[in-house]
Every structure is written in structure tokens, then in C-alpha cells.
Amino acid sequence: MATLKAVTTTEGTPPFSFSAEALAECKRLIARYPDSKSKSALLPILHLAQSENEGWLSVNAMDAVAQVLGIQHIEVYEVASFYSMYNLRPVGRHHLEVCRTTPCMVRGSDDIIAYLEKKLNIHVGETTKDGMFTLKGVECLGSCGTAPMLQCGAKYHENLTPEKVDALIDQLRNEPRTNYTDL
Ligand code: FES
């Protein structure tokens, strides 16, 4: 198993260090796999790093993941840049990921996106000026039966209507940053 220790690097992007709790969770995740297969824990450890880096993966955060797993930096970059659930740029406190694949589109996801764009005064891919919300269009999130839907952190918000969107935005304005993990 790779040696686990806090990592702080400073070049290029803000420094990043895993918390003690996250390092303990990394250790638990890595222990699920044989010593020679610790890379199998890469996806959940990327989620941990993202959660501890205000919702996005800086180069330093990805390098810390590589060090914890004892793998090449490029092995982390290529995975992090492949999956849409990893953010390679800073995001708002709440990241609204609206599904726009066919079943959701047929059930009105375009209208939901347009409603959010108007309400938040941003376009897809942008963050509100106050840093509160980022809006993103994503592919199927596996909840087609409750379309249209969006994901915010680890939670799904389903059967969306403009009224439900209004209630969700009001609720999120009073909540701390949404995360993908329970740490
Ligand atoms: S198409 Fe939207 S959740 Fe599957």
C-alpha cells in the first residue's frame, strides 16, 4: 500500500492538503484492494480531493491524489479530465448539474435549463457573480424515470418544475457548500 501522508504543493495552483479525516478515508478505500491494485481507489479519492478543494480539482489536488496512491500524475489527470463529475475549474458553492439527455429533454430539461439561466442570470458553464451557483449540462444521471432532474452534490432533485427550481434555489442559498461525500 502507498504511504499515506499529508501533501502540500504550491506550484501553479493554490496549495492543497488532505485533512486527517480524508487521509484516513483514503487509507480505508485503498485497503479494499490488493497492494498492487491500489489505483482502483482513484475515483472515490478524487471525490474526496474535490470535496476538500471547494468542489474542484486543482493540479495540486490531483498531484496529492497521485502521491497518496503512489501513481503517476498523468494517470490522475487522464481520469479526472474524462469524467464530467470532476471539475477542473473552480465552481460555485452549489453546482447544479442538469441532465439534458433525451428522456430528460423530452420531459422539458431545455425549459428547466432556460429557467435556471434566466433566474441566475448566467449561461450553462458559468458561475453567478456572487460565487453561489454554477450551472452545468450533463449526460444521463440514471434517473430517467423522474425526468427532468438535476444533481447538486450527492443529491438528486427530480420531476423538476419552475416552482421546484425556485424552492431549491431558495433552500440552497441558506446552505453550506454541497459535497459529493459524507466526510
Ligand atoms: S436522461 Fe436524464 S436521468 Fe437519464
The CATH code of the domain that includes 155 is: 3.40.30.10
Task: Return the CATH number at 27.
Answer: 1.10.10.1590
Please state the φ and ψ torsions of residue 140, each to the nearest 5 degrees: -40, 130
How many residues comprise the chain?
183
Q: Are residues 74 and 100 in the same domain?
A: no
Domain contains 182: no
Q: What is the DSSP letter of 127?
A: B
Indicate whether 169 pLDDT > 60.
yes
**What pLDDT was estimated at residue 178?**
82
Q: Which of 69, 90, 111 is the last residue of a domain?
A: 90
Whole-angstrom Cα Rg for the chain: 18
> Which of 104, 106, 160 is the pocket-test mutation for ligand 1 (most atoms within 8 Å of CB)?
104
pLDDT band at 2 (very low <50, low <70, confident <90, very high): very low
**What pLDDT was estimated at residue 40?**
97
How far apart (Å, rounded) are the C-alpha atoms in residues 133 and 122?
Answer: 9
Domain count, the chain: 2
* 8 A C-beta contact, residue 38 and residue 50: no
Ranges of H-type helices in 10-161: 20-30, 42-51, 59-69, 73-80, 102-106, 109-120
* Across 122-138, average pLDDT: 97
Q: Are residues 135 and 56 in the same domain?
A: no
CA–centroid distance, residue 178 to ligand 1 (Å)? 21
Domain contains 100: yes
Residues spanned by the domain of 49: 1-90
**pTM to 2 decimal places:** 0.84
Indicate whether 1 pLDDT > 90.
no
Q: What is the pLDDT of residues 18-34, one digit of tens each?
A: 999 999 999 999 999 99
Q: Are residues 98 and 144 in the same domain?
A: yes
Peptide bond connecting 162 to the previous residue in cis, omega within 30 degrees of 0: no
* 8 A C-beta contact, residue 150 and residue 136: no
Indicate whether 111 pLDDT > 80.
yes
